[in-house]
Amino acid sequence: MPDLPRLPLTSAYWPATDGPGLRETTIGSVLREAAARAPAVTALVDGDPERPDRRQWTYAELLADAERAARALLTRFEPGTRVAVWAPNSPEWVILEFAAGLAGLTLVTVNPAYQGDELAHVLGHSEADGIFLADRFADRDMHAILAEVRGRLPRLRDVLSFSEWDAFTAARHAGELPDVAPDSPAQVLYTSGTTGRPKGAVLTHRGLTNNARLTFRTAGIGPGDVEVNPMPMFHVGGGCLFTLGPVQATATQVLMPRFSPALQLELIETYQATILCGVPATLRALLGHPDLAKRDVSSLRRVVTGGAVSPPALVREVEATLGVTYQISFAQTEASCSVTIATAADSAADRAETLGRPLPHTEARIADLRTNETAGCGEVGEICTRGYLVMRGYLNAPEATAAAIDAGGWLHTGDLGSMDERGYLRIAGRLKEMIIRGGENTCPQMLTSP
């Protein structure tokens, strides 16, 4: 565990602790290192129930396929260009992510549920030169949707279907794969756009790889662990934390094409999964599914979650029912994913009622809503973070970037919370949901909290 700051804290500020050192890594280099350390360990399992063969890749095989795909990418795209991916989860999505990292391309991830206007915005705004897409998603013809807006995308020149993946990867680039700088852009992830058009957070190789490694290490996940991942790959959780984390831990990822409680329970039993990742809604669905009583889930030891509020009652129910440690992370796309996480060393009360403490090399503070000064312990304000994990900025949006990252380098998350004198974070709602009551700013969630 990293050295802790002097406790108790005198204000709601957590300094960056040393812990395991930051590394100058890239998405490609962490896969190469894993293949060198554990070439025969299973890296990836295709959990698609419609494929009876249940494809699997060792780390050596995953690296070989990623390097092959990287060379194919370089027959069409120059290093530094942006290539989009618009598809549900699949092993080919994972291989493309590592291939883009090896080839020095920036991957633009697109929600497969997007309709034409949303798709056109992301592809046009990101200036993507190419796109990989699925043929269908949720009974929708993806090619037809793209065709409707193709005329609005003069920059887009290559459209590649995952159904033709083998033919695509048969192409070979004659030269060597490029050297990729750790601080270069790895991915552009578009936020939900609740306050307007989605904004593209530019995340670096160094930020994504270190954040995933430090999160998994702090969470106690390592070699021999098996993770079942139902999270969407276009999201920072599914495609970054729960993909780059297991690689650096030389653990196994069992990738689900979509969330299904029955499928998830079957995969836990079949592959003796030790790590379950998801959000509170999927965990509730799992607990309420009739197959839970029929499946052997005794191998599970940890649940890692974030992205939505986990009520303390749910935490306790999951721990009691599944016999696991429930570990909540405070995460945000603009912070390369995790800012804090609860650990197995934390008390049951802290796991249920807090978001844990900041990760190593991560500064965090609560900013007073009126003065922007650091708040006192226990006071509600805006959660801010600073360090290697903060995005470069929003793509082609300097004003939005300046509004999110202040002159001191602090990322203002837009989330309300408090920090106690031990450094544990509690969530209190969203800043934009504040309402004025009796001359005071109040969050609706705070009005209904016990």
Residues of the chain with pLDDT under 50: 193-194, 434-450
Q: What residues form DSSP beta bridges with 14?
A: 364
Say how many domains are in the chain: 1
**Which pLDDT value is given to residue 31?**
98
Q: What is the dihedral of CA 54, 57, 61, 65, to 10 degrees?
A: 70
Q: Is the dihedral of CA 115, 82, 277, 385 positive or negative?
A: negative
**Which pLDDT value is given to residue 432?**
72
Q: Is residue 2 domain-resident?
A: no
**Which pLDDT value is given to residue 2?**
62
Q: Is residue 309 domain-resident?
A: yes
Q: Is residue 376 domain-resident?
A: yes
| Count of positions (residues) in the chain | 450
- Helices 91-103 & 27-37 angle (0-180, nearest 10): 110
Please check whether residue 211 is in contact with residue 23, taking contact to mean a CB–CB distance below 8 angstroms.
Answer: no
**Which pLDDT value is given to residue 415?**
95
Question: 429: closest CA among 411, 450, 446?
Answer: 446
Q: Is residue 67 domain-resident?
A: yes
Q: What residues form DSSP beta bridges with 255?
A: 46, 229
**Which pLDDT value is given to residue 430?**
85
Q: Is residue 79 domain-resident?
A: yes
Please check whether residue 421 is in contact with residue 8, taking contact to mean a CB–CB distance below 8 angstroms.
Answer: yes
Containing domain of residue 52, as a range? 13-448
CATH number of the domain at 330, please.
3.40.50.12780
**Which pLDDT value is given to residue 195?**
53
Q: Is residue 1 domain-resident?
A: no
Pairing state between β 13-14 and 362-367: antiparallel
Pairing state between β 106-110 and 136-137: unpaired
Q: Is residue 6 domain-resident?
A: no
Amino acid found at 8:
P
Q: pTM for this structure?
A: 0.94
Q: What residues form DSSP beta bridges with 362?
A: 387
Please check whether residue 357 is in contact with residue 330, taking contact to mean a CB–CB distance below 8 angstroms.
Answer: no
**Which pLDDT value is given to residue 438?**
34
**Which pLDDT value is given to residue 85?**
98
Q: Is residue 5 domain-resident?
A: no
